[in-house]
């Protein structure tokens, strides 16, 4: 029996980028299959913070979503530089949501309307006569790489994760609080807590979502993350933010922020990268779901316009759309490299203990991106 599959578009990766792109291509009448190495529901290392434009861009029906899933509204934040004085910012309205990726990604996958090929990694791809043969059995004119940071399609295009790239690395744990822990946990669901590292190259977080707690820390640059994460947990325990031991080990992951000194190639004949595979997360906050969804929308628009002719030239508008939305992909040299690190640090410590700066710059601009309306509202 032949198990050969044909499709108009093969999306590799069923995360937010892949399912969003697939959904729009299905709506445009294309036969789309999503290939993922995992079976769903599957977990994903992520704090699960969604900013409101994501809800708009996904056309998410929050009532439907929340019927059987965790949806935690956030109305404020507590921020501090580790060891400094916390600043509480209260918006008096919902400014973000907390979700569990296990539930969220499964919901988006089922809603996409695409065929699913789950539990099968992309292990091999080859081009023959203008078509791709994936895993020697799936035949398609277009492969969309949405496989996250280590996406095999990105590797095929020349990306070398762990070699000549500079990702953020992060560790995180999410677990269900016992009833007793729920009573004693001082972190409020409506007010996630952010803890910036003294060198300002990253931050830790405590995010409570219903009866779950998510704790983690992510940083850019060369460092010993494991040690920093342990110190962060000890700090939380010493300050009463975490009045019990973590029940599980932290999970680690890496991903690229936008822009990069050496951006990954984005497209080629019959190939396109979206989401983390393309390295798009916001540089100040590390938010990656919104750029993943937006890149998926821009990719879908480009693919529909290409009308079945997927040469690199026909896919080029995707790169132009990304640059118009997120700016140039190549990072510029560091600003003010002559400014001593200690001075930058004391300046930042001073600014970040100021409630107005925290609200209008750190939260509104860097974390909530309130200055940038949703794509295709
Ligand atoms: C610790 C941490 C916390 C974060 N917190 C947030 C947050 O709170 N809010 C936010 O917006 N962003 C956050 N991010 C970033 C966010 O998780 C990512 O940017 C986002 O998941 C990218 O979505 P994606 O669809 O591109 O990739 P992913 O969600 O990574 O999905 C990729 C899919 O590809 C599949 N895949 C991988 N390899 C293969 C293969 N060989 N063959 C087939 N399938 C494959 C995987 O199984 C997976 O399902 C966080 C990241 C980390 C590491």
Q: Report the nearest atom of ligand 1 relative to the CA of 42.
A: 49
Separation of CA 148 and ligand 1 centre (Å): 5
Global pTM value: 0.97
The percentage of residues in the chain with a pLDDT greater than 70, rounded to a whole number, is 97
Separation of CA 104 and ligand 1 centre (Å): 12
Peptide bond into 21 cis (omega under 30): no
Buried b (16+ CB within 10 A) or exposed e, 254-263: bbbbbbbeeb
Sorting pLDDT into bands at 50, 70 and 90, what band is 162?
confident
Separation of CA 159 and ligand 1 centre (Å): 17
pLDDT of residue 347: 81
Q: Which of 123-127, 142-146, 229-233, 351-355 has the lowest mean pLDDT?
A: 351-355
* pLDDT reading at 334 higher than 80: no
Find the residues whose C-beta lies inside 6 A of ligand 1: 12-18, 35-38, 44-49, 121-122, 146-148, 150-152, 170, 172, 216, 218, 253, 255, 275-277, 281, 286-290, 292
Separation of CA 224 and ligand 1 centre (Å): 22
pLDDT of residue 337: 58
Separation of CA 129 and ligand 1 centre (Å): 32
Which of 98, 168, 289 for a ligand 1 pocket mutation test, highest count of atoms within 8 Å of Cβ?
289
Q: Whose CA is nearest to atom 29 of ligand 1?
A: 15
* pLDDT reading at 1 higher than 60: no
Q: Report the nearest atom of ligand 1 relative to the CA of 54.
A: 11
Q: 192 and 206 in contact (C-beta within 8 Å)?
A: yes
Strand (E) or helix (H) holding 312: helix 312-326
pLDDT of residue 351: 87
Report the side by side order of strands in the sheet with 168-176. 87-90, 76-81, 193-196, 202-209, 212-220, 168-176, 251-255
Separation of CA 354 and ligand 1 centre (Å): 33
pLDDT of residue 137: 97
Quote the CA–CA distance of 217 and 230 in Å, as a whole number.
10
Mean pLDDT over 359-370 rounds to: 96
Separation of CA 13 and ligand 1 centre (Å): 9
pLDDT of residue 339: 60
pLDDT of residue 338: 63
Strand (E) or helix (H) holding 362: none
Q: Which of 2-6, 29-33, 206-210 has the lowest mean pLDDT?
A: 2-6
Report the side by side order of strands in the sheet with 5-6. 5-6, 138-140, 131-134, 125-128
Quote the CA–CA distance of 113 and 31 in Å, as a whole number.
10
pLDDT of residue 196: 94
Separation of CA 12 and ligand 1 centre (Å): 12
Q: 34 and 18 in contact (C-beta within 8 Å)?
A: yes
Span 226-270, pLDDT tens digits: 999 999 999 999 999 999 999 999 999 999 999 998 999 999 999
Q: Report the nearest atom of ligand 1 relative to the CA of 19.
A: 25
Quote the CA–CA distance of 20 and 22 in Å, as a whole number.
5
Residue with tokens 């016992």: 178
Q: Whose CA is nearest to atom 26 of ligand 1?
A: 275
Quote the CA–CA distance of 307 and 246 in Å, as a whole number.
52
Which of 288, 296, 368 for a ligand 1 pocket mutation test, highest count of atoms within 8 Å of Cβ?
288
Q: 193 and 155 in contact (C-beta within 8 Å)?
A: no
Separation of CA 153 and ligand 1 centre (Å): 15
Which of 11, 12, 13, 149 for a ligand 1 pocket mutation test, highest count of atoms within 8 Å of Cβ?
13
Strand (E) or helix (H) holding 171: strand 168-176
> Closest Cα to residue 76, out of 65, 66, 84, 86?
86
Residue with tokens 């020349």: 158
């Amino acid at each position: 029996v032949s198990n050969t599959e044909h499709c108009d578009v093969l999306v590799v990766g069923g995360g937010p980028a892949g399912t969003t792109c697939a959904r729009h291509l299905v709506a445009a009448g294309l036969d789309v299959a999503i290939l993922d190495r995992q079976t769903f529901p599957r977990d994903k290392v992520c704090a699960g913070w969604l900013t409101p434009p994501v809800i708009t861009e996904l056309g998410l029906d929050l009532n439907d979503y929340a019927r059987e899933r965790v949806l935690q509204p956030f109305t404020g934040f507590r921020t501090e530089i580790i060891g400094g004085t916390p600043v509480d910012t209260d918006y008096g309205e919902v400014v973000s949501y907390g979700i569990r990726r296990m539930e969220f990604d499964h919901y988006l996958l089922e809603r996409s309307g695409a065929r699913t090929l789950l539990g099968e990694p992309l292990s091999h791809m080859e081009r023959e006569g203008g078509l791709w043969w994936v895993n020697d059995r799936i035949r398609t004119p277009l492969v969309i790489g949405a496989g996250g940071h280590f996406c095999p399609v990105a590797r095929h295009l020349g990306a070398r994760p762990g070699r000549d790239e500079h990702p953020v690395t992060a560790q995180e744990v999410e677990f269900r609080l016992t009833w007793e822990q729920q009573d004693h946990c001082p972190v409020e669901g409506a007010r996630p807590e952010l803890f910036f590292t003294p060198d300002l190259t990253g931050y830790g977080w405590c995010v409570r979502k219903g009866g779950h707690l998510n704790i983690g820390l992510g940083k850019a640059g060369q460092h010993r993350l494991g040690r920093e994460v342990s110190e962060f947990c000890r700090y939380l325990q010493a300050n009463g933010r975490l009045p019990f031991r973590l029940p599980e080990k932290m999970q680690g992951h890496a991903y690229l922020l936008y822009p990069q000194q050496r951006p990954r190639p984005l497209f080629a004949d019959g190939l396109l990268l979206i989401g983390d595979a393309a390295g798009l997360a916001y540089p100040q906050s590390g938010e990656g779901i919104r750029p993943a969804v937006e890149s998926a929308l821009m990719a879908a628009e480009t693919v529909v316009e290409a009308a079945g002719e997927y040469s690199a030239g026909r896919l080029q508008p995707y790169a132009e759309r990304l640059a118009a939305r997120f700016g140039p992909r190549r990072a510029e040299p560091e600003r003010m490299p002559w400014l001593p690190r200690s001075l930058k640090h004391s300046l930042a410590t001073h600014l970040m203990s100021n409630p107005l700066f925290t609200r209008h710059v750190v939260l509104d601009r860097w974390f909530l991106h309130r200055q940038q309306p949703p794509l295709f509202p």
